[in-house]
């Protein structure tokens, strides 16, 4: 194996070659050795630089990850230690009287559809729609000449029956006299028993004939009364004080007894109001409960009234109780058939609590309210009795005086620490 040597420029030059210059021979192989040395050192330096870059990158990544981890842990710790300040309101007990507003409709205190009770033609008509009438006022007159003829015929028949009665009574009296006279003769033997029997039975027959004549007279008198009543029905009169709200006949119209509708009469000095009370308030409704009626078209007026009648049974389909309210209407401001709002002041039968509507949350557990107990949020399941718009009436779940959180945060958990802001008043 050849040994390479690097000579210094000052090293001695071998003497066996005296013809070659000393400096030229020593420098001849030096560049080759230096290039190989530089390659080795360059590779080592390049590898070292790559290693340092890799190590620096890893160190930088590890430091960033460590910094982010520390930041996340610090944020989590802050969130764990953070106590939010939440707006609260105090729940209050509902009053002893419940006020509810319901839609209603008005009806006439008394209403009647008047039909013809006699056959004939309308001779005169005295009233029209909107007329005020008093009980007994003539509304229309029916003309039926055949009825007058029937009455005349019945009266003539009555006269015949009365004459027949007189004849029967005379025959009866004659038979009685004959029987009284002959009975004595029969007892003495001057007349045969057969004659006595004939006289006695003839008297009984005449008595029966007189009784039949009296019955015929009574029947004929009853017929005359019927015809006279039909005659009276030709005058159509008002059964009570009221207003004519519908007219269906005019002069000359043919009417039939029991089938021709003529007028509608309504009494409206007192108005009935029908309202359907829901089940949660129906148990407190009773006769005498105060009511206030408002008509949208009369915003400046209120009409007081009182509950007078109840249906005593809830409608199965709607679970509502039909309630009737009487409202005085002396000036006629209210008319039958109006839509209106009814405000009822009903005594409360079951206690309840009122909270702002913002305090109620709905989640997978149903309706809940978050209350604060010793600085801790507690979720309470509640049952809504009535939705009052900005407020909610709760049947159970909380008690009066509890502090409820308004608009609870989505991430608020049961048992979280909270600070209560100044209390917002609930209710009016």
The tens digit of pLDDT for each residue in 386-414 reads: 888 888 888 888 889 888 989 888 888 88
Q: How many CB atoms lie within 10 A of CB 84?
A: 14
Q: How confident is the model at residue 188 (pLDDT cuts 50, 70, 90)?
A: confident
Instruction: Tell me the average pLDDT across 235-259.
Output: 93
Query: Average of pLDDT values for 219-246?
Result: 92
Reported as a pLDDT band with limits 50, 70 and 90, residue 218 is very high
6 or 293, higher pLDDT:
293
Cα 36 to Cα 263: distance, rounded to the nearest angstrom: 133
Tokens of 403: 């502090």
The mean pLDDT of 242-255, rounded to a whole number, is 94
pLDDT reported for residue 142: 94
- Distance between CA atoms of 352 and 384, rounded to whole angstroms? 9
CA pair distance 37, 55, nearest whole angstrom: 27
- The answer on pLDDT for 101 being more than 80 is yes
The band of 24, judged by pLDDT with boundaries at 50, 70 and 90, is very low
> Which two structure tokens, joined as six digits, stand for 359?
């305090």
pTM of the full structure: 0.59
Q: Quick one: average pLDDT of 315-341?
A: 93
Alpha carbon separation from 111 to 50, 64, 263, 270 (Å, rounded): 109, 91, 11, 12
Q: Is the dihedral of CA 154, 160, 164, 169 positive or negative?
A: positive
- Per-residue pLDDT band for 127 (boundaries 50, 70, 90) equals very high
Which residue is listed with tokens 């106590």?
A: 83
Q: 10 Å Cβ neighbour count for 226?
A: 12
Q: Which residues of 17-47 are buried (b: 16+ CB within 10 A; e: fewer)?
A: eeeeeeeeebeeeeeeeeeeeeeeeeeeeee
Per-residue pLDDT for 17 more than 80?
Answer: no
% of the chain surpassing 90 pLDDT:
39
Residues 6+ apart with CB under 8 A from 214: 165
């Amino acid at each position: 194996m050849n040994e390479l040597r690097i000579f210094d420029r000052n090293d001695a030059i071998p003497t066996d070659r005296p013809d070659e210059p000393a400096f030229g021979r020593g420098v001849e192989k030096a560049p080759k050795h230096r290039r190989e040395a530089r390659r080795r050192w360059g590779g080592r330096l390049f590898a070292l630089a790559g290693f340092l870059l890799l190590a620096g990158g890893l160190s930088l990544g590890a430091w960033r990850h460590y910094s982010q981890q520390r930041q996340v842990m610090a944020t989590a710790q802050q969130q764990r230690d953070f106590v939010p300040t939440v707006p609260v309101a105090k729940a209050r007990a509902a009053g002893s009287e419940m006020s509810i507003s319901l839609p209603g409709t008005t009806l006439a205190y008394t209403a009647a559809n008047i039909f013809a009770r006699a056959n004939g033609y309308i001779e005169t008509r005295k009233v029209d729609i909107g007329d005020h009438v008093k009980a007994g006022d003539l509304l229309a007159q029916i003309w039926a000449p055949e009825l007058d003829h029937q009455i005349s015929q019945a009266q003539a028949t009555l006269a015949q029956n009365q004459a027949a009665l007189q004849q029967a009574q005379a025959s009866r009296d004659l038979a009685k006299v004959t029987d009284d006279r002959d009975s004595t003769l029969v007892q003495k033997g001057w007349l045969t028993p057969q004659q006595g029997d004939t006289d006695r039975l003839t008297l009984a027959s005449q008595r029966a004939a007189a009784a039949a004549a009296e019955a015929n007279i009574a029947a004929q008198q009853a017929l005359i009364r019927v015809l006279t009543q039909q005659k009276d029905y030709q005058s159509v009169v008002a059964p009570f004080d009221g207003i004519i709200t519908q007219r269906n006949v005019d002069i000359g119209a043919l009417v039939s007894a029991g089938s021709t509708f003529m007028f509608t009469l309504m009494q409206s000095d007192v108005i009935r109001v029908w309202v359907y009370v829901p089940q949660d308030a129906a148990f407190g409704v009773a006769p005498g409960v105060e009511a206030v009626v408002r008509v949208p078209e009369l915003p400046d007026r209120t009409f007081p009234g009182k509950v007078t009648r109840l249906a005593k049974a809830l409608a199965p389909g709607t679970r509502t109780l039909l309630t009737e309210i009487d409202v005085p209407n002396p000036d006629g401001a209210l008319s039958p058939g109006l839509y209106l709002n009814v405000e009822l002041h009903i005594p409360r039968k079951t206690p309840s609590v009122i909270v702002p509507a913002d305090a109620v949350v709905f989640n997978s557990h149903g309706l809940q309210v978050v209350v604060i107990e010793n600085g801790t949020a507690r979720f309470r399941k509640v049952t809504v009795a009535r939705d009052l718009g900005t407020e909610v009436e709760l049947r159970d779940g909380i008690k009066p005086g509890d502090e409820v959180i308004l608009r609870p945060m989505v991430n608020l958990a049961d048992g979280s620490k909270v600070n209560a802001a100044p209390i917002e008043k609930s209710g009016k």
